[in-house]
Amino acid sequence: MQSNKSKIEQIIADSLSRHKEQRREYTLFGKFFYLKEPFLGNIDVQNVIETLETSIPSHLFGEIDEVLVGDFDFLHERGLEAMYRDGAIYVTNQIQSAKDLIENIVHEASHSLEYLYGAIIYGDRKINAEFIGKRERLRSILQSEGYKVGSYDFEDVEYDEEFDAFLYKEVGYAKLNNLVSGLFVSSYAVTSLQEYWAVGFEDYFIGDREYLKTISPILFRKIEEVINYED
């Protein structure tokens, strides 16, 4: 037979569990973090926040006013899980794991820094040269694999939908990941200079920092310049 003490402890535990499930408002680095719609997956949001706050310097979230989670049409339309726009990070509630949520928030935080530190990141064009050099080496690899790459400009640092479709549909990201090993930290970093920056930033904080330093030394130094920048 359950004692009164055990019953009370169970009532408290059930109450805390319900409160956790119903909670919508949090803070991340003192910024508003709101679940407009709850995650479909079982994600401990408070644990995600604590992980972020212990992994990344708070000043790198200075351009972010809020993080909003929900079922946003503009994310669906572009096939995205998250986006930084007008001071906010928007995240789809369809993310299924804490790891994916952390990766998306860090990735979009990196894009917010481009507005503030764009001159440091891109001004001397060193990161451009590193990126284009890797793209040219990738062109040679793809040619040797039998892919027709003549119609694509591998020196264009901007996102190109046709080029992305070529990588995604013709090559396939699974195979591309193998082809870019030792060249890019992931296949998504190939798609544009901005994504090269963002994926590198993500890997610096929640990936393999030493691997990033080895294969992309200029990108690595740019990230550290931004981290250590003082007005």
Spatial contact of 67 and 88, defined as CB atoms under 8 Å apart: yes
Q: What is the pTM of this model?
A: 0.88
| Residues forming a β-bridge with 28 | 31
Calpha distance 36→30 (Å, rounded): 18
Q: What percent of the chain has pLDDT over 90?
A: 87
Residue range 140-196, pLDDT digits in tens: 999 999 999 999 999 999 999 999 999 999 999 899 999 999 999 999 999 999 999
**Other beta carbons less than 10 A from residue 171's beta carbon:** 19
Residue 110 structure tokens:
């990196």
The CA-atom distances, in angstroms, between 126 and each of 59, 68, 120, 214, 219 are 24, 34, 10, 16, 9
Query: CA nearest 106: which of 67, 157, 159?
Result: 67
